[in-house]
Each structure stands twice: as structure tokens, then as C-alpha cells.
Amino acid sequence: MKKTLPSLAAVALLTIGLAGCSGAAEPAAPAAPAEAPAEEVVAEPIWTPVATITGNADQQSDTIALTGGKVRVTYDFVDNAGANMVVGAVYVLTEDTDIMTDGAIPDVMISEPGAGETILRKDAGDYYVKVTAANADYTVTVEEQK
């Protein structure tokens, strides 16, 4: 029994020491919920009108300044002769282009009444809009995405 007494004393001291270390600690604060990364709000592009031409014969606009964004051309050609034989073209040309000497390919070419739109990609710079038409009343609007 003599030998077990020191062993029991050592175990008792060890138990008391461990109990003192594992005393009642304050509960840990709850972890903050992980924040989701803030969604980046992307502004919806706005179509800004830069020219509108209405008429029933060949016309061209004054100079328009484009900033290099996408360009949308919307058009509506209505038969004004009752023959269903409409011909029309829309050009968006650099300011120094002369169709008679330089030639040009239309950005929009129509051969029947109707409405529609097309998207163009133009560098920043000065342009003008030219519309040619036969047997049609038309409205052409050019807008740039900003």
C-alpha cells in the first residue's frame, strides 16, 4: 500500500491540475457569418439618339459625333405609291466621305416596306447619315450606346 499511495497522490495532483486548466471558460463568440462578396452593380447601357431623319426623298443629316460605342440604326419604310415597290438605303458615313466619288456600301438596304434595326460598330469620330429612298415614306433613327 505504501507504493500505491504516492501513485494515487500523483494521479490526484495530475487530475486537479488538469481540472484547473479546463475550468469553465467563457463561451466563444459566435463566428460572424461569411459575407458574400458584394455584387457589382453594372449600369445598363443607354441608347442615346444622335440623329433622326424622316422624309420621302434622298436626305442626309448634319454632322454627328460618335464616341466609339455600338450604334443602332432603326428604320421604318412605308409604301407611299401603293405599288409595293419600295427601295431604300441607309448609310452612316465618315464626315469626309462623298458617295459620288468614293462609293459606299449601305449599312441598311431594303427592297420592300417594313421596319427593323441593325447594330453597327463605328470608331469614334465625325459621321453623317444619308438615306436614299424611292416610293417610300421613312423614319430612320441612329442611336449610340453609352
Question: Is the CATH number of domain 59-145 3.90.480.20?
Answer: no
Q: Where are the domains of the chain?
A: 59-145
Choice between 6 and 33, residue whose per-residue pLDDT is larger: 33
> For residue 66, what is the enclosing H or E element?
strand 64-66
Dihedral sign for Cα atoms in the order 90, 61, 58, 95:
negative
Choice between 124 and 35, residue whose per-residue pLDDT is larger: 124
Report phi then psi at 142, rounded to 5. Answer: -115, 130
pLDDT for 22-69, tens place per residue? 555 565 666 666 676 777 888 888 999 999 999 999 999 999 999 999
Dihedral sign for Cα atoms in the order 47, 97, 62, 108:
negative
In this prediction, residue 29 carries a pLDDT of: 62
Q: Share the mean pLDDT of the chain.
A: 86
In this prediction, residue 8 carries a pLDDT of: 46
